[in-house]
Copies of this chain bind each other. A is one copy, B any other.
Amino acid sequence: MRLYLASTSPARLQTLRAAGIEPIAVPPGVDEEAAVAAHEADHGPLAARDMVQLLARAKAEALVGAEPGGEPIDGLILGGDSAFLTSGAIHGKPHTPEVAKARWLAQNGGHGDLWSGHWLIDHRDGRVNGAVGRPDVATVRFAALDEAEIDAYIASGEPLLVAGAFTVDSLGGPFIRRVEGDPSTVVGLSLSTLRDLVRELGVDWTSLWNRAG
């Protein structure tokens, strides 16, 4: 059974690889800001859990009918998205060192909730046979960094392109004191949730294994 990953996130790809799955990664080409704005214009502000599901579903559905590498899709399509909720506000990628530093000065020694969205489409035999999705959340508690550590971490570039301006699986690991939830949710893809969804579509989890973990 092949898994198609509708995401360009290196962290999601690495998470799947570590779990024994080499997916076919396909950039979904979704304009995330436009998708959120269009939804909010009709329905009002999105909660974090709804936002990540909206975008996870949009990414997965963008691959329906696609032919990556000239081959029709035959397998499961996974879309994923993440957002960090702290002090009542949703934070995506900071992009600039200035925003990343402001984020860290605000969340240093504090905590927040990392929401990850998942949408899984059964796309076998040339058609959509079903789809399931569910968000997952993990609470993240930060260590208290001194300013020199914050500056050094930001200078590494690592926090700039991740929701919440932190990473748990690389340089930022020691700056996370505690997680309450599925650790892979924090990285952007809850593996335990994905296993549930795969099984709900009637597929054995281990049939996705196509590489050493």
Q: Which residues of A contact B (CB under 8 A)?
A: 15, 18-20, 143, 148-149, 152-153, 156, 158, 167-184, 186, 191-192, 194-195, 204-206, 209, 212-213
Contacts and interface: CB of A to CB of B under 8 A. Distances in A.
Nearest to A20: B171
Nearest to A140: B183
A3 to B, nearest CB: 12
Nearest to A151: B206
A143 B177 contact: no
A155 to B, nearest CB: 10
Given A181-B178, A192-B176, A204 B148 contact: yes
Given A156-B213, A195-B143, A170 B19 contact: yes
Contacts of A184: 173-174
A179 B179 contact: yes
A74 B91 CA distance: 43
29 contacts: A18-B169, A18-B173, A20-B156, A20-B170, A20-B171, A143-B195, A148-B204, A148-B206, A149-B204, A149-B206, A152-B209, A153-B206, A156-B212, A168-B183, A170-B213, A171-B213, A173-B192, A173-B213, A174-B191, A174-B194, A174-B195, A175-B195, A176-B191, A177-B182, A178-B182, A179-B181, A180-B180, A183-B183, A183-B186
A171 B204 contact: no
Contact of A143 (B158, B192, B213): B192
A119 to B, nearest CB: 17
Nearest to A180: B180
Given A148-B206, A169-B18, A206-B152, A183 B179 contact: yes
B194 A18 contact: no
